[in-house]
Amino acid sequence: MKVGDCYTPGAAILAPGDTLADVMRAFLRHRLDIACVLNDRGHLDGIVSKYALYRALLAGAGLDSPVGSLVRRDVVVLRMEDSLESAKDTLLHSGVGHGVVVDREGQVCGVMGKSDIIRGFLLDTEMRAQQVTVLLDHLQEAVVFIDREQRVQAMNQAAEALFHVDKDVVLGTPVAKWLPELAGVVADAVERSIALPAGRLEIGDTVTLTSVSPIGGSRNAAGAMAVIRDITTLEAIAEELETTKNLQHTLQHAVALSYDGIAVVDPEGRITVANDALAEILDADRESLVGRPWGEAVPDVSLRRVLEGREVEGQVYTLRGRPCLITQEPIERSGKCVGAIIKVIWRRLDEWRDLFRRLEQLEREVNYYRGEWQRSHRSSSAFDAIVGRDTAMEALKREARLAASTTSTVLITGESGTGKELFARAIHQESGRPGAFVAVNCAAVPAELLESEFFGYVEGAFTGARRGGKPGKFELADRGTLFLDEIGDMPLALQSKLLRFLQEQVFERVGDVRPRQVDVRIIAATHQDLEEMVRNGLFREDLYYRIHVVHLKIPPLRDRLGDLPLLCQALIQKLNGKLNRQVKGVSPEAFERLRAYSWPGNVRQLENVLERAMNLGVSDMIDVADLPKEMRGVNSRISRTPEPAGAEGPPRPRGRSREAWEKEWVLGALEEAGGNRTRAAQILGISRSTLYHKLRKYRIEEEVRFRLGAT
Ligand SMILES: Nc1ncnc2c1ncn2[C@@H]1O[C@H](COP(=O)(O)OP(=O)(O)OP(=O)(O)O)[C@@H](O)[C@H]1O
């Protein structure tokens, strides 16, 4: 506060030649205690006080006497920019009641008396009080003033908010009513007149850090001020921090003690944690690994996939000449990859491998005994579904039953429709293997898809690959049986992969390097002459011997016509269920026709002929009229001379080559079926895969397109 802020502006001005009457008039006009006498240049010459005037009048001076003798020249002059404090000191020391206030040029601006000084100090105090209130209200800490009698004198907005009280209600009331916990502390500070440093104090539900300072004299405090900070959240955070610290400590211990190498990397692939086991395999110092980019420390192992958020399971690597198994796991937060954990297993890998081998062996033994148990507790056998009392068939079933109790690979050969798949299923069921029976027709899968169909693929293996990858037939048949139908149609490249699997029981998905191990029993089938294919270099000899461990050769139907009555009976019964009919059997005449036929499509063809007859016929016996045209006529009595193995189709007229006749036979059926291959295969009594085989063999595709297009 400055003199300029609180002086009384304006002054009673006199000239040196004025009289006492002029002085009196000036005092009356301005109601001031002093009048200023200015010289010719307007500067202060001196002052005349009311008391000097009274004294002169009492001494008998006349009103027209000049003012000159009353002028006092040791005037107290105050400047506008002087502080209020220094103005007060000047007036006190000089012992006068008023000072003349001048500006920088020495021009008189007004006067300043004691009352002006008091007003100035009052203004100053008021302003400071306002500042303190604003300051307190802007503090985050709650502040409460309490007097000696423990009554609340003041509090800021933060205190109102923290303790949910209204200042207007609380002020003047005992603090113990609102904040009992605080009352005790304040009483202590006031009583002893000492400041209590910040300490933890629970006030209601709030955990606070409270300091108390006494106000007033050092012996006899008039009250106290409490500054309170809410630390409820802070304390919770601190507790959490403590728990996290403990957890981190435990984790660090666990990582350090881990038998396997462990590293944690940040999203940029920089190592943030590494343990001694990792340092050991990398021949590095653990401390020097932390902070290094992973790619620099272990260039052979890429983290690209894991840092994209994908898990990379046990891949085999060789680090510093030692084999190891590496697993990479992404660390995700809010759906974002924020780093990865890398685990390197390298100690005692061989022991693990042996352990797994032993486990597999035990599993195989369990499977065997499970199968045995099932067999001994089952009244019917899976082989009961295979109809036939022919000696060759009986011998085959015995052999197949024996094979079922082993895990040997089985090769089943025979013409199309002889029941190769039926045998394969029976062997699987009888074996008691807990996994599934998975059948793949090697002839029906496009060559370019064969590998992924067999071995599966990993995500991103090729364009169009499914997210998350796809398991192949080998994985689907794990602990079960994989039936490889038409194995003769398997491309040579895939044959080598199959051979490797048969030798090691491991394979990799397409696009993957991680070897996978499964326990799969293989049963292969073909209507082709594999030995001849081996001779022609179309089938791998080593694979042939691998799958040839047990060989079941199913004879064609024409060679076991003794089974025809039983087969007709069993198939009619099966078809009655399917077609909802009550057919009892085949008339003797019709049966004669069936016996006379050569059955190139074997049991499947017989089933088709019976189904067609049951669909056409109305009586409960299948008659000659219900049979296909080529079986009906008396002239259709057919020579039962068997065609060489693999030859199918109706009896061929003399003079026609087998190929030309068979091709015409297939084309005729395709035309009759309007190009529908499933129907054509049914008409021919051969399986779809055999039909595909013949289509490829005779390059019929183009011809059919031409013929169908032409009609
Ligand atoms: N001995 C049999 N007893 C009963 N049904 C049989 C017999 N042999 C084959 N079948 C039936 O004939 C049809 C064809 O059998 P399957 O599919 O097993 O033959 P396949 O030799 O595998 O044929 P392809 O080589 O054409 O695939 C099936 O419906 C099957 O149930």
What CATH number is given to the structural domain containing 703? Answer: 1.10.10.60
| 8 Å CB contact between 677 and 670 | yes
406 lies in the same domain as 259:
no
Structural domain includes residue 664: yes
Cα–Cα distance measured from residue 131 to residue 341, given in angstroms and rounded to the nearest whole number: 58
Q: How many angstroms does the Cα of residue 297 sit away from the middle of ligand 1?
A: 61
Same domain, 31 and 83: yes
Contact 62, 73 (CB under 8 A): no
CA of 637 to the centre of ligand 1 (A): 25
CA 441–ligand 1 middle distance (angstroms): 14
What local confidence, expressed as pLDDT, does residue 644 receive?
35
* 526 and 608 part of one domain: no
Do 392 and 540 belong together in one domain? yes
Q: Categorize the per-residue pLDDT at 594 as very low, low, confident or very high, splitting at 50, 70 and 90.
A: very high
Ligand 1 contact via 432 beta carbon (within 6 Å): no
Q: Identify whether residues 507 and 656 lie together within a single domain.
A: no
The string of pLDDT tens digits covering residues 596-617 is 888 988 999 999 999 999 988 7
In the chain, the largest separation of any two C-alpha atoms, in whole Å, equals 183
406 falls within a domain: yes
Among protein residues, the one with the nearest Cα to ligand 1's atom 29 is 604
pLDDT above 70 (res 710):
no
Over its C-alpha atoms, the chain yields an Rg (Å, rounded) of 57
Tell me what pLDDT residue 379 has.
56
Which residue has its alpha carbon closest to ligand 1 atom 25? 416
Residue 601 alpha carbon to ligand 1 centre in Å:
10
Query: Which protein residue has the closest C-alpha to ligand 1 atom 30?
Result: 419
**Is the CB of 600 within 6 Å of ligand 1?**
no
Residue 44 C-beta-side C-alpha neighbours within 13 Å: 27
The pLDDT confidence band at residue 110, using thresholds 50, 70 and 90, is: very high
CATH number of the domain residue 100 falls in: 3.10.580.10
Question: What CATH number is attached to the domain comprising 338?
Answer: 3.30.450.20
Which residue, by CA, sits nearest to atom 16 of ligand 1?
419
Close Cβ partners of 412 (under 8 Å, ≥ 6 residues apart)? 420, 423, 424, 523, 524, 525, 551, 552, 554
At position 658, the amino acid (one-letter code) is R
Instruction: Count how many domains the chain has.
Output: 6
Judge contact between 145 and 155, C-beta under 8 A. yes
Question: Which pLDDT band holds residue 271 (cuts at 50, 70, 90)?
Answer: very high
User: Residues, the chain, total?
Assistant: 711
Using DSSP bridges, classify how beta strands 437-441 and 481-485 pair: parallel, antiparallel or unpaired.
parallel
pLDDT at 469: 83
Looking only at the bridges linking them, the beta strands covering 470-471 and 481-485 are unpaired
What percent of the chain shows pLDDT beyond 70?
Answer: 93
The 3-state secondary structure of 661-672 reads: HHHHHHHHHHHH
At 38, is the secondary structure helix, strand, or coil?
strand
Residue 419 in contact with ligand 1 by CB distance below 6 A: yes
Query: Which residues have C-beta within 8 Å of that of residue 491, sequence separation ≥ 6?
Result: 447, 450
In 84-182, at which residue ranges do the beta strands (DSSP E only) sit?
98-102, 108-113, 142-147, 152-155
Q: Give the Å distance between the CA of 349 and the centre of ligand 1.
A: 47
Please say whether the beta carbons of 11 and 116 come within 8 A.
no
What is the pLDDT of the chain when averaged over all its residues?
86
For a mutational test of ligand 1's pocket, the pick from 387, 527, 604, 648, i.e. the residue with the most ligand atoms closer than 8 A to its C-beta, is 604
604 close to ligand 1 (CB < 6 Angstrom): yes
Rounded to the nearest 5 degrees, what angle is found at the Cα of 330, between the Cα atoms of 329 and 334? 145
Q: Tell me: do 17 and 71 sit in the same domain.
A: yes
Angle between helices 700-710 and 658-672 (to 10 degrees): 40
Q: Per-residue confidence at 703, pLDDT binned at 50, 70, 90?
A: low
Centre of ligand 1 from the C-alpha of residue 313, in Å: 42
At residue 637, does pLDDT exceed 50?
no
Q: Is 412 in the pocket of ligand 1 (CB under 6 A)?
A: no
Range of the domain at 485: 381-553
Say if residues 122 and 57 touch (Cβ distance below 8 Å).
no
For 405-427, what is the mean pLDDT?
Answer: 93
Residue 333 lies in a domain: yes
Predicted confidence (pLDDT) per residue in 493-519, tens digit: 889 888 988 888 788 888 888 788 888
Q: Does the C-beta of 560 come closer than 6 Å to ligand 1?
A: no
690 lines ligand 1 (CB under 6 A): yes
**What CA–CA distances, in Å, run from 125 to 81, 117, 118?**
19, 12, 11
- Cβ(416) – ligand 1 distance below 6 Å: yes
Q: Is the pLDDT of residue 697 over 90?
A: no
Ligand 1 neighbour 420 (Cβ under 6 A): yes
Give the C-alpha separation, 120 to 123, whole Å.
5
